[in-house]
């Protein structure tokens, strides 16, 4: 997903600020889908940005902190917006916001529905973005169609969990693989034994050495006994690795 290209395509309809925000929100949801980083997914932020987009298309201005439930539940369908936006897209957004409020896309249960919730949120965000692209100005129908196809393309799985062990499906160095793994557990501490199980195809000595390297570089904090979690700098480094693999 080319975030800059998507933002540029939406700029004529939404202005530079909202187009950049919406594109970034969608890319974050796609990235979380790929990495199963369920607790940090941002469907709520995407919906809030979309409400601002609807306000901007309707009036030329938008609220810094819109009341999402009030706008989607009471106001938007009384606007002069095209029904594809004020009814269809708005109702999709409202259902996404319901998941954000009632399910939080982060819950533990005997049956893991997190991935299904997040997949629904991603598909809803992709559909809404595609609908905005259909109304975009300053972009050809051919270019809009190509972007819609990219937006709605399935998300590949970068992190897969099998029987409690997370596997990283990427041909990357050990250090990058550990960063992606710790990112999938963030903000929880990951025991060293769990890291070794996930990277069982790697040399245990190499894995331990790279964990120590991350600690020395202040990308991860912890030790062999307590386990490790990413620092803020480590989280940013992990996101950079993931972004390079999922664009």
pLDDT range class, residue 33, cuts 50, 70, 90: confident
The terminus-to-terminus CA distance of the chain in angstroms comes to 5
More confident residue, 157 or 179: 179
In a shared domain, residues 127 and 170: no
Mean pLDDT of the chain: 86
156, pLDDT greater than 50: yes
From residue 73, alpha-carbon distances to 84, 175, 195 in Å are 16, 47, 45
In a shared domain, residues 21 and 67: yes
In a shared domain, residues 29 and 137: yes
In a shared domain, residues 15 and 122: yes
The rounded distance, in Å, linking the Cα atoms of 106 and 90 is 23
Nearest one of 170, 164, 224 to 201, comparing CA atoms: 170
Cβ-based burial of 179 (10 A; exposed 0-12, middle 13-18, buried ≥19): buried
Which tokens go with 14? 């939404």
Are the C-beta atoms of 247 and 1 separated by less than 8 Å? yes
Average pLDDT estimate for 157-163:
76
In a shared domain, residues 204 and 83: no
In a shared domain, residues 187 and 128: no
pLDDT at position 187 is 80
Number of helices followed by number of strands (H, E) in the chain: 11, 4
In a shared domain, residues 128 and 233: no
The residue segments making up the domain with residue 106 are: 3-151
Domain C-terminal end among 151, 168, 192: 151
In a shared domain, residues 94 and 122: yes
pLDDT range class, residue 78, cuts 50, 70, 90: very high
177, pLDDT greater than 80: yes
66, pLDDT greater than 90: yes
In a shared domain, residues 24 and 118: yes
Cβ-based burial of 232 (10 A; exposed 0-12, middle 13-18, buried ≥19): exposed
Query: Among 35-44, 60-69, 124-133, 186-195, where is mean pLDDT lowest?
Result: 35-44
CATH code: domain of residue 232: 1.10.10.10
pLDDT at position 133 is 93
**Domain count for the chain:** 2
DSSP secondary structure letters along 5-65: HHHHHHHHHHHHHHHHHHHHHHHHHHHHHHHT-GGG--HHHHHHHHHHHHHHHHHS---SS
Q: What is the pLDDT of residues 7-28, one digit of tens each?
A: 999 999 999 999 999 999 998 8
Which tokens go with 190? 């990951």
Which helix H or strand E contains 228, and what residues bound it?
strand 227-230
pLDDT at position 110 is 43
In a shared domain, residues 83 and 188: no
In a shared domain, residues 136 and 213: no
In a shared domain, residues 134 and 57: yes
Main-chain dihedrals φ then ψ at residue 135, nearest 5 degrees:
-100, 0
pLDDT at position 108 is 41
pLDDT at position 39 is 52
The rounded distance, in Å, linking the Cα atoms of 115 and 79 is 35
pLDDT range class, residue 146, cuts 50, 70, 90: confident
Domain C-terminal end among 109, 125, 151: 151
Average pLDDT estimate for 75-102:
89
Domain C-terminal end among 151, 173, 200: 151
């Amino acid at each position: 997903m080319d975030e800059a290209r998507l933002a540029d395509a939406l700029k004529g309809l939404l202005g530079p600020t909202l187009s950049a925000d919406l594109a970034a929100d969608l890319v974050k949801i796609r990235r979380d889908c790929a990495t199963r980083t369920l607790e940090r997914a941002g469907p709520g932020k995407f919906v809030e940005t979309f409400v601002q987009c609807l306000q901007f298309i309707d009036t030329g201005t938008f609220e810094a902190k819109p009341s999402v439930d009030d706008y989607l539940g009471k106001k938007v369908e009384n606007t002069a917006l095209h029904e594809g936006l004020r009814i269809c897209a708005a109702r999709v957004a409202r259902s996404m916001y319901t998941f954000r409020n009632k399910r939080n896309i982060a819950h533990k249960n005997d049956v893991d529905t997190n991935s299904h919730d997040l997949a629904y949120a991603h598909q809803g965000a992709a559909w809404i973005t595609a609908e905005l692209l259909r109304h975009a100005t300053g972009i050809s129908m051919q270019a809009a169609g190509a972007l819609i196809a990219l937006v709605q393309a399935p998300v590949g799985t970068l992190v897969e969990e099998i029987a409690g062990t997370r596997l990283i499906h990427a041909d990357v160095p050990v250090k990058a693989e550990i960063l992606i793994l710790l990112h999938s557990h963030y903000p929880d501490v990951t025991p060293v034994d769990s890291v070794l199980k996930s990277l069982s195809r790697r040399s245990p000595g190499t894995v331990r050495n790279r964990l120590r390297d991350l600690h020395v570089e202040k990308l991860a904090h912890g030790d062999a006994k307590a386990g490790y979690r990413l620092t803020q700098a480590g989280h940013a480094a992990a996101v950079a690795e993931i972004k390079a693999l999922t664009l």
